[in-house]
Amino acid sequence: MKEIFDSIHYFCDEFSEDGNFVTIKTKQLKSLSLYLFRDLDCDLSSVVALRAKDGFNIKYLYSYPKKDYFFIVCQNIQDEFESFADDIPALNWFEREISDLFGIIPLNHPDFRALPLHPENYPIGFHPMQNDKIKDENYGTYEYKDVKSEGVYTVPVGPIHAGVIEPGHFRFAMSGEPILQLEIRHFWKHRGIEKLCEGKEVDEVLNISQKISGDNALSHALSFAMAIEKICDIKVPSFAQYCRVIAAELERISCNLSDFAGVFQDAGYSFGASGITALKEDIMRLMKLLSGNRFFKDFVIIGGVSKNIKPYTKEIIDIIKQVNITFDKYKKIMENSSSILERLETTGKIKKQTVKDLSCVGFTASASGRFSDFRKTHPYLIYSKLDFETLVLSDGDVSARVRVKLNDIKNSFKIIKICTNYISQVDKPKLKVKYEIKDGEEFGYAQSNRGNIVHFVKIEDKKVVRFKPRDPSFMNWQSIQFAVLGDVIGDFPLVNKSLNLSYAGNDL
Amino acid sequence: MSYWVKKGLKTGVVSTRYPKQEETASGITPGLPQITDNINSDDLISVCPTRAIHKTDEKLLLESSLCIHCYRCSRDTKEPLSWSEGFEWASFEKNSTPFSSTFGHSLHICVVDSGDCGACLNETKLLNSPLYNMHRLGFFITPSPRKADVLLVVGAVTQQMKGALLKAYEAMPTPKKVMAVGTCALSGGVFEGGFIAENGVSSILPVDITVPGCPPPPLAILHGLLSLAGRKNIKRGTK
Ligand code: SF4
Ligand code: SF4
């Protein structure tokens, strides 16, 4: 790392190291950002804007995949800043989001349209995070990038879909059968979570954080809790850490199973889908037994966990064993069925370069040849002590994503086994520690089944003054626009399912 | 091919027998906090973040449409509340009635997510899974509101979804009913104060039946549908 730090020193005015976080202040923002993103091959993990004394402060968080390091690049600005979205496409949505919420303008942005706040619904001058008066009360319209040419027609879908699906708008430009272009428009579910959390108590925000993306309730709570624990120097007892890992892996199994079922369903194989959903229900019932809630809500609390799961070790082991056996059977069915595999292979291809450009995370990246799993690259809790094999595939198609997920389920079974072994041997389980809220700001992160979740929290006077959650779906949504190119529209549900993107987490 | 026929026969029926028989499996419901007599009230009222626990005429009450399942009343108090295990929570709004018997046998349902967190929708989705299997009761999800009898709304209605939700309602043929599912849809839930409609779905559409819970388990939603079809007798709302 020394060489890397030396070369960073070359760019920067201020440099400070705190654990695995390196904070850099520089005047040569662009060269440094490009050095991190291109030369060091970092992923863009989050961008946070904050109101400062005069003007605003923007923090770019880059994660270094080869070693457990994060780089925070800061800049202070007035009411505009230079956009790098042309060079770092992953910044595109972040900059537009900041522009909508704070009213600060990214100069030379390649696609400067409104993002989270639809101009049809909110006045153009409405910037909730700015706390200023609304200057422009008019409403606007949204320009779609429709393809206009002879023989090309547009198929608009949504926001309300057929079936039980979250709302989002998709516009396909079709030329005959193949899809020429897909444009997505989201944020229909924008509930204003960032604004809502300003000035709230830590406990309240912990509760809200679990409702960012309901099926990842635990992972979101975990990354929020870990941010707070870092700020307040809370040492979580090791028993609680093991409990947290068991819970996180159960949640991962539950979500991955539901994906697996979805792939069966959309490939037209409902027998498989039924069987797998039944397994998912088994896991959810186990989750209820352990925590009182079918989604592990309020299991993670600041300083530990809320319930002792030790008395249920036997149930966990039994159910996981059962689920594992049945799961293997269905996995075999899939692997031996040429009709299913044919649907999955070469469908919805995402190139490695796309994944890199957009800083995609989780299985989307891993299936396209770019490994992404914070449990390995930036281990938290006790993950560094656990031994499991992650999978990286280069195909980038639906089949590759499914295989990565199936491997993930297998890993989770293994991890749970190790952890239950540990907790059954602990004599005096310590669930939580007492703590006091201190002021400060930190990033917290956890790996959900979809990819890494990164939360930024700032506390002042024991209240949360800024909370910026970044759901993995926010990084991955744009990749679907590339995945469907050249496919037929009938494959879209399958591709969509294989990417398993959360609308709620994306929209905030 | 032969495999799944054999497997199917071997597995037999796994669906719940509800409503013919009671469902007693563990883990099907998170339950609701239960107010019992002679409980120390002040402590509880101050600990509940959403005013779900409140006092009317000196009587301690639980307004389930406000409860966000934060478990503070069972964790942070000296006398923790116990939670009931039931799931038959649906209640009709004032002046609303079930479908008449002509239309009440089979229902077609259009599900609209107007800003939920994903959990309510997840539970709704499970109604189609073999363990709950609502098809056996004649309930079907329709792809379009034009064929729907029931508009099932989950989630706090965000500003940006208001228009779409209204359009979906208008596209439905009469007689039609609206079912609001989840605390968010009933009152805004944790998102109260965010960019959402103030009183949930009822500020936009005439709601007929409500199912509280955050999220309500699949059986609670099923209970709501059965009630709406007039196949289950339930209490009336007083609101
Ligand atoms: S769970 Fe939370 S919201 Fe519900 S009654 Fe208890 S304290 Fe109130
Ligand atoms: S009621 Fe609860 S579970 Fe349902 S959408 Fe709202 S926050 Fe999510």
The answer to whether residues A73 and A33 touch, using CB atoms and an 8 Å cutoff, is yes
Q: How far apart are CA A271 and CA A335, in angstroms?
A: 15
Confidence class for position B236, pLDDT limits 50, 70, 90: low
B191 located within any domain: yes
Judged against a pLDDT cut of 50, whether residue B238 lies above it is answered with no
The C-alpha angle with vertex A32 and arms to A26 and A38, in degrees rounded to 5, equals 165
B4 located within any domain: no
**Cβ count near A109 (within 10 Å):** 18
Same domain, B132 and B223: yes
What pLDDT shows up at residue A454?
A: 92
Same domain, B95 and B79: no
The CATH number of the domain holding residue B185 is: 3.40.50.12280
Token readout for A116 is: 């989270």
Q: What type of residue sits at position A244?
A: R
Q: The domain containing residue B153 runs over which residues?
A: 91-228
Same domain, B109 and B213: yes
Query: B75: CA distance to ligand 1 center in Å?
Result: 10
Same domain, B77 and B96: no
Per-residue pLDDT of chain A (508 residues; tens, 9 = 90+): 777 777 777 777 777 778 888 888 887 888 888 888 888 888 888 999 888 888 888 888 898 888 888 888 888 888 888 888 888 888 889 888 888 888 888 888 888 888 888 888 888 888 888 877 777 778 888 888 888 888 888 888 878 888 888 888 988 888 888 888 888 888 888 888 888 888 888 888 888 888 888 888 899 999 999 999 888 888 888 888 888 999 999 999 999 998 888 888 887 787 888 888 888 888 888 888 888 888 888 888 888 888 888 888 888 888 888 888 888 888 888 888 888 888 888 888 888 888 888 889 988 888 888 888 888 888 888 888 888 888 888 888 888 888 898 898 888 888 888 888 888 888 888 888 888 888 888 889 999 888 899 999 998 888 888 899 999 999 889 888 888 888 888 888 888 888 888 898 888 8
The answer to whether residues B129 and A284 touch, using CB atoms and an 8 Å cutoff, is no
B38 located within any domain: yes
Same domain, B188 and B115: yes
Q: How far apart are CA A343 and CA A494, in angstroms?
A: 9
The answer to whether residues A296 and A247 touch, using CB atoms and an 8 Å cutoff, is yes
Residue B236 or A395, more confident: A395
Specify which residues A15 forms β-bridges with: A24
Same domain, B197 and B97: yes
Our answer on whether the CB atom of B214 is closer than 6 Å to any ligand 1 atom is no
Per-residue pLDDT reduced to its tens digit, B54-105: 777 777 777 888 888 888 888 777 777 778 888 888 888 888 877 777 766 7
Per-residue pLDDT reduced to its tens digit, A216-264: 889 999 999 999 988 888 888 888 888 899 999 999 999 999 888 888 8
Q: Give me the domains of chain A, ranges plus CATH numbers.
A: 2-107 (3.30.460.80), 193-507 (1.10.645.10)
The CATH number of the domain holding residue B49 is: 3.30.70
Tell how strand B139-141 and strand B107-113 pair up.
Answer: parallel
Same domain, B76 and B121: no
Q: Which residues of chain A make contact with B114, given a CB cutoff of 8 A?
A: 167, 189
What pLDDT shows up at residue B2?
A: 66
Domain boundary pick from B83, B111, B141: B83
Same domain, B65 and B96: no
Tell how strand B107-113 and strand B150-154 pair up.
Answer: parallel
Domain boundary pick from B83, B114, B148: B83
Number of domains in chain B: 2
B234 located within any domain: no
Q: How far apart are CA A360 and CA A472, in angstroms?
A: 8
B237 located within any domain: no
- From B101's Cα to the closest Cα of chain A, the distance in A is 26
Tell how strand A69-77 and strand A21-25 pair up.
Answer: parallel
B200 located within any domain: yes
* Residues sharing a CB contact under 8 Å with residue B103, sequence separation 6 or more, in sequence order: B149, B175
Same domain, B99 and B71: no
Q: What angle do the packed helices A270-291 and A313-336 form, to 10 degrees?
A: 170
Q: Is cis: bond before A159, omega within 30 of 0?
A: yes
Q: Which residues of chain A make contact with B123, given a CB cutoff of 8 A?
A: 294
Half-sphere exposure of residue A483: CA atoms within 13 angstroms, side-chain side: 34
- From A185's Cα to the closest Cα of chain B, the distance in A is 12
Nearest Cα residue to B180 out of B146, B148, B203, B147: B203
The answer to whether residues B121 and B154 touch, using CB atoms and an 8 Å cutoff, is yes
Q: A153: part of which helix (H) or strand (E)? A: strand A152-157
* Residues sharing a CB contact under 8 Å with residue B8, sequence separation 6 or more, in sequence order: A271
Per-residue pLDDT reduced to its tens digit, A370-399: 888 888 888 888 888 888 888 888 888 888
Which residue's alpha carbon is nearest to atom 5 within ligand 2? B116
Same domain, B182 and B216: yes
Token readout for A181 is: 């272009």
Q: Is cis: bond before A123, omega within 30 of 0?
A: no
Query: B23: CA distance to ligand 1 center in Å?
Result: 25
Q: Is cis: bond before A493, omega within 30 of 0?
A: no
Backbone angles phi, psi at A356, to 5 degrees: -65, -50
What pLDDT shows up at residue A79?
A: 83
Which numbered atom of ligand 2 lies nearest the CA of A211? 7
Q: What type of residue sits at position A127?
A: H
What pLDDT shows up at residue B91?
A: 83
B236 located within any domain: no
Same domain, B77 and B98: no
What pLDDT shows up at residue B234?
A: 65
**Residue in the structure block whose two tokens are 């004649």:** B138
Domain boundary pick from B83, B110, B143: B83
Judged against a pLDDT cut of 60, whether residue B239 lies above it is answered with no
Length of chain B in residues, anyone?
A: 239
Same domain, B98 and B164: yes
Q: How far apart are CA A400 and CA A407, in angstroms?
A: 11
Question: What is residue A134's DSSP assignment?
Answer: P
B3 located within any domain: no
Binding-site residues, ligand 2, Cβ < 6 A? A 211, 214; B 116-117, 119-120, 155, 182-184, 189-190, 214-215
Q: What angle do the packed helices A217-231 and A202-209 form, to 10 degrees?
A: 150
pTM of this structure: 0.91
Query: B184: CA distance to ligand 2 center in Å?
Result: 5
Which chain B residue lies closest to A120 (C-alpha atoms)? B160
Q: Is cis: bond before B130, omega within 30 of 0?
A: no
Token readout for A227 is: 């941010």
Specify which residues A71 forms β-bridges with: A22, A62
